[in-house]
Chain A
Amino acid sequence: MNYSVPFFTILYKEVCRFTRIWPQTLLPPAITTALYFLIFGKLIGARIGAVLGVSYMDFIVPGVILMSVISHAYSNVVSSFYSTKFQHHIEELLVSPVPNWIILTGYVGGGIARGVLVGAVVAGVSMLFTEVNVLHWGITIAILLLTATLFALAGFINAVFADSFDDISIIPNFVLTPLSYLGGVFYSLAMLPPTWQIIAQGNPILYMINAFRYGLIGVTDVDIVLAFEMTIGFIGFLGALSLWLLHKGVGIKN
């Protein structure tokens, strides 16, 4: 079988789904991040001054963009795949000869597409408040895609285990959002007390945000190589776990 057909079928279906409901998927991040840039960047940021040698507004732009990418790549896959289970049309995929890795890459591809599109929307909004330049295109695009992939995979695993709509909101609300806000979006690691600096380094999102910030404006609190190694390592682990769950039929087969 030509696997590109089922892959693009799933991807097309996923992209149509989130673009069809754009007031729920693409508009809110534009409004929320505009408020972030206005309040934190313009009003409060003017009093904070420079961070790592750049204006506070320029400092927070990369983190706010990547935080939106993380949140939307995750929520796209978790809500779409759980709905597929909930409405039983996962059975359409299970009865057909689509290999598990195509199912996974199709859904993850949908999550990446939404994450990147939302990232572009937020980047567009940020341009209303400051000049956005990309210093290292390769690093910026690579970490953007890797981060979106990682959190799309995490959303997939969440959906596999979810038994109710409550289950698909617990991780985003109580794990993902706190880790994102504490991942150095609004502050540099150097601004924290020494103990909190050590604790903060256990947060994987810190590494991705800093790598993305380095790609855009050339400043970082962490080692970029370590950030890439960590992200790729997590992708490998979550990808393998997702395929194993699909193979076993956990959460989708009786």
Chain B
Amino acid sequence: MKALSIQNLKKTYNNGFQALKGVDLEVESGDFFALLGPNGAGKSTMIGIISSLVNKTEGHVSIFGHDLIKDNEKAKSCIGLVPQEVNFNQFETVKNVVLIQAGYYGISRKQALAQTEQSLKQMDLWDKRDVVSRRLSGGMKRRLMIARAMVHKPRLLILDEPTAGVDIEIRRAMWQLMQEVNRQGTTIILTTHYLEEAESLCRNIAIINHGQIVEKSAMNSLLQRIHTDHFVLNIAEDLQAAPVIDGYEIELAEGQVLNVAVPKSHGLNRLFQQLSSLGIEVLSLKNKSNRLEQLFIDLVQ
């Protein structure tokens, strides 16, 4: 079953700017789906339309088979949204932020209290339940927005840059949590600027640019299209010039640092053999850039 189905979605703002130019997209139920694109590409407009925050100009959106216009309440009941910006009432307590949201979904108070507790505990915020929400740290505010989005147990969770501005420790904890939520059957659509995040978490990906989907495929098949990996090698001794090895592009970045472009057809073993034969000892290596990042740049440029 399709968790999300979008056909010919268009949006033109009052100032004439066409943010979406006829987007078609489908996301399968249970998927962990990445929606990537540069700033201003149309991601937020698309998420805004799916979550009823933005009026569409043309096209159809359905959530688990419920048309967003004709079957509005059922479609909305399926969605949980974690927006980019903090948008809860900062004068309410943590518990009330989640409890009020449960009320908006028609959950009775007794049930809402139980689900609020469960949701806050899942986000490790139960101890903060009586704290006024504006006093939370940035990472806690993000977790509160996830707890709020999860309180009515949505079938489709939309995470719009959920880890923006949070430190690496919290980000990793949030990744684990998102994976756990997805394992439990919730479909997740993730937008992020951290491409490592998308590569680690998502099974399928769409890239949007200038209001159009420019790429949609499985993450694995997309990554397989990368023919060349870029590595940075730290070597033991200073070199005056980059070594020349047939089939590899090598440049000397600093005396003891080499940037190497390695075609997948050649692999690393041959490179190391050749470097050893030239008397160059490699101490360590790392990827020069995230693989998806390279592809992303190629697609949106």
A residues neighboring B (CB under 8 Å): 1-3, 5-6, 8-10, 12-13, 84, 87-89, 91-99, 248-249, 253-254
Contacts and interface: CB of A to CB of B under 8 A. Distances in A.
Contacts of B72: 97
Given A8-B103, A89-B88, A254-B54, 7 more contacts: A1-B106, A10-B103, A13-B100, A84-B89, A92-B104, A92-B148, A99-B73
21 contacts: A1-B73, A5-B103, A5-B106, A5-B109, A6-B103, A6-B106, A8-B103, A12-B103, A91-B87, A92-B104, A94-B53, A95-B76, A96-B101, A97-B72, A97-B77, A97-B105, A99-B73, A253-B54, A254-B13, A254-B45, A254-B54
B294 interface: no
A13 B102 CA distance: 13
Contact of A95 (B79, B89, B103, B106): B79
B83 interface: yes
A89 B89 contact: yes
A99 B48 CA distance: 18
B18 interface: no
Contacts of B55: 248-249, 253-254
A16 to B, nearest CB: 8
Contacts of A91: 53, 81, 83, 87
Nearest to A2: B106
A93 B76 CA distance: 11
Contacts of B51: 94-95
A92 B87 contact: yes
A93 B52 CA distance: 10
Contacts of A10: 103
Contacts of B280: none
B104 A98 contact: yes
A90 to B, nearest CB: 8
A112 B209 CA distance: 48
B78 to A, nearest CB: 9
B217 to A, nearest CB: 29
B108 interface: yes
Contacts of B101: 92, 96
B273 interface: no
Contacts of B76: 95-97
A253 B106 contact: no
A98 B77 CA distance: 10
Contacts, number: 77
Interface string B141-182: 000000010000000000000000000000000000000000
A97 B54 CA distance: 15
Contacts of A96: 76, 101, 104-105
Nearest to A98: B104
A238 B226 CA distance: 61
Ranked nearest first, the 3 interchain pairs of A and B with the lowest CB-CB distance are: A9-B103, A96-B104, A88-B87
A12 B100 CA distance: 9
B107 interface: yes
Contacts of A9: 100, 103-104
Contacts of B85: 88
Contacts of B48: 254
A8 B112 CA distance: 13
Nearest to B81: A95
A93 B104 contact: yes
B54 to A, nearest CB: 5
A249 B52 CA distance: 10
B289 interface: no
Contacts of A88: 85, 87
A87 B104 contact: no
A92 B54 contact: no
A6 B99 CA distance: 11
B90 interface: yes
Contacts of B81: 91, 95
Interface in B80-95: 81, 83, 85, 87-90
A221 to B, nearest CB: 44
